[in-house]
Amino acid sequence: MKLLPIEGAIYLILKIIHKVSRQKKANMSLSDIKNILIISNTAIGDTLFSTPAIRAVRQCFKDSRIIACFSVKNMALFTNNPHVDTVITYYGGYKRFLRTILALRAKHIDLAFILHGNEPQATPMAYLSGAKYIFKVPRTQKYAFLLTNPTDGFGDKSPWEHHAIDVRLKTVSFAGCFADDKKMQLIVAADAVQSIEGRLTKIYGVVYSNIVLIGFQCGAANEYKMWPKGRFEALGRQLVLANPNVRIVLIGSVQEKQYCMDICKNIGTGAVSLAGELMLPELAAIISKLHCLVTNDTGPLHMAVALGIKTVSLFCPTNSWGVGPIYDQHLHTVISKKRPCNPCVTKKCKAPFCMASIDVEEVFSAVMEKVKNNYIYDNYL
């Protein structure tokens, strides 16, 4: 087991503390649980996948206080979650690690759920928070001795063979929080909606409500998930040509700004890029205004699903059954191709030719199907 010096030190300290401590109890009394820590401090989509489990915890522990540890990069989307009482910021890795631990300990944590957290920090953080019970699926190998649940609860199958939402719901079920509702929860801030409505009016004039607004999420956290740039350009031109009321709006991160501007330029009239220009609450607001979002496997896809917005999502190396839309199937079309490389090198892949197996015509037809019932299209189809 190769550890960095700080990781080795933490591991040794926790081994000693755990050996001499009686922090974990044999039996859990729900009436004794006053403060609950929920760790979900990774990407936007991963945190959205956690929201059904957070809701389940609230329904189970109605009188307990729920403290969520969210990533500083995306917590602006989740601080208004109605089932969370307090948010503690996670800064990534060991950055401000001790400060975060002290903030958690001040909350007198009784029970911790690690729904999706960066390791090797997440499990030590939960233990050092003072939590008497810690539940996590899948069970981390290095720090499994700190966890309360002895198994993953999935029997012979790996947790990775299930949808991410189901894995999180399984995690909270160990504490008696059982739920079937898999709908993700994302609250769009009213001031963000107002800001976006003003922006759309400025771009398109007062008639913006009479256009068909189709979003393109062209980027992704990793190149291997990205549909080729030229395919998005061809799709955009085809959609605009099919109907003069269509407008394409490109969204994305600051890092994707130039990439999206180039695609926008090559689509031509009818396309505008807002990539890198929106705060996260505004990103949620503009997604809520779309008639359809065409997207790679990345955060905005899951935001659109949470908001009930129609999507056409593009998958090849990643598995749509594990992270794709799991409810409201009538709103979502998943275009998924078989992975050509075995094993897939995922993040190490710099030329994701597999995504090119998704044809423009296939995506175009799916988008047109999604918006065909819009009254604006009746005059053109």
CATH number (domain holding residue 57):
3.40.50.2000
Which strands make up the sheet holding 246-251, listed edge to edge? Answer: 271-273, 246-251, 212-217, 292-296, 311-315, 332-336
Q: Are residues 158 and 219 in the same domain?
A: no
Q: Are residues 140 and 226 in the same domain?
A: no
Closest CA to 273 of 253, 302, 290: 253
Q: How far lies 201's CA from each of 197, 248, 281, 290, 309, in Å?
A: 6, 15, 18, 14, 21
Q: Are residues 109 and 27 in the same domain?
A: yes
Residue 219: exposed, middle, or buried by beta-carbon count in 10 A (0-12, 13-18, 19+)? Answer: buried
Q: Are residues 255 and 134 in the same domain?
A: no
Query: Is 182 part of a structural domain of the chain?
Result: no
Q: Are residues 61 and 205 in the same domain?
A: no
Confidence at residue 161, expressed as pLDDT on a 0 to 100 scale? 92
Per the structure block, which two tokens stand in for 113?
A: 């759920």
Query: Is 178 part of a structural domain of the chain?
Result: no
Query: Is 179 part of a structural domain of the chain?
Result: no
**The Cα angle at residue 192 between residues 190 and 194, in degrees rounded to 5:** 70
Q: End of a domain among 148, 173, 198?
A: 173
Q: Are residues 139 and 258 in the same domain?
A: no
Q: Are residues 168 and 195 in the same domain?
A: no
Q: End of a domain among 173, 198, 232?
A: 173
Q: Which domain holds residue 35?
A: 5-173
Q: Are residues 149 and 17 in the same domain?
A: yes
- Residues of the chain short of pLDDT 50, as ranges, are 1, 375-381
d(C-alpha 239, C-alpha 178), whole Å? 44
Q: Are residues 257 and 232 in the same domain?
A: yes
Confidence at residue 374, expressed as pLDDT on a 0 to 100 scale? 65
DSSP annotation of 135? E
Instruction: State the pTM of this model.
Output: 0.93
Per the structure block, which two tokens stand in for 182?
A: 């898999």
Closest CA to 138 of 127, 130, 150: 150
pLDDT in tens, 280-326: 999 999 999 999 999 999 999 999 999 999 999 999 999 999 999 99
Query: Is 73 part of a structural domain of the chain?
Result: yes
Confidence at residue 375, expressed as pLDDT on a 0 to 100 scale? 47
Q: Are residues 123 and 200 in the same domain?
A: no
Confidence at residue 22, expressed as pLDDT on a 0 to 100 scale? 57
